Amino acid sequence: MAFTKEYTANIVLNLDQVRQMQRAQRNVYDKGLVEQNTNALAAALSTSLSVIGAVFFKYTAPSLAAGIASLLVGMIPSEKEALKSLVINGYWEMGYLQDFLEDNQGRYDLINVKFPFIEYETKGIRFITGKGVVVEVHSTSGGWMLL
């Protein structure tokens, strides 16, 4: 069993990064947690390289894929199911951030989001587990504004 901790942390993102982050988390769920296919996961994550380190703590697609595979080996079935539920919830909630930025294109170009994470400390991997709270937005005309 891996040691875990749950916490919140802020990440500043633009629309493209939100899309990449959402895609990466979906690929982690589909190819890493459900299929458990390390090679397919590494290949899928290669399209999201700019956000992998900020979100998951691993800085290459192969290292993240291998870390997830290693993590799953030490988990009992109920732990795996709980992780799947947390990861898919995080993925789902990211869609609302994408909607927000798309709905406000021309107004905001960056958002500072406080995300809930679960971190598997011994593996050096974390996952977004739920709804991120937009703390502030960056106006396209310049400057940060609190929400």
What is the enclosing helix (H) or strand (E) of 66?
Answer: helix 61-73
Nearest Cα to Cα of residue 49 among 18, 12, 24, 15: 24
- For 78-115, what is each residue's pLDDT tens digit? 999 999 999 999 999 999 999 999 999 999 999 999 99
Distance CA(70)–CA(86), nearest Å, equals: 18
- Tens-place pLDDT, residues 111-143: 999 999 999 998 889 999 999 999 999 999 999
C-alpha count within 13 angstroms, C-beta hemisphere, residue 134: 23
pTM for this entry? 0.92
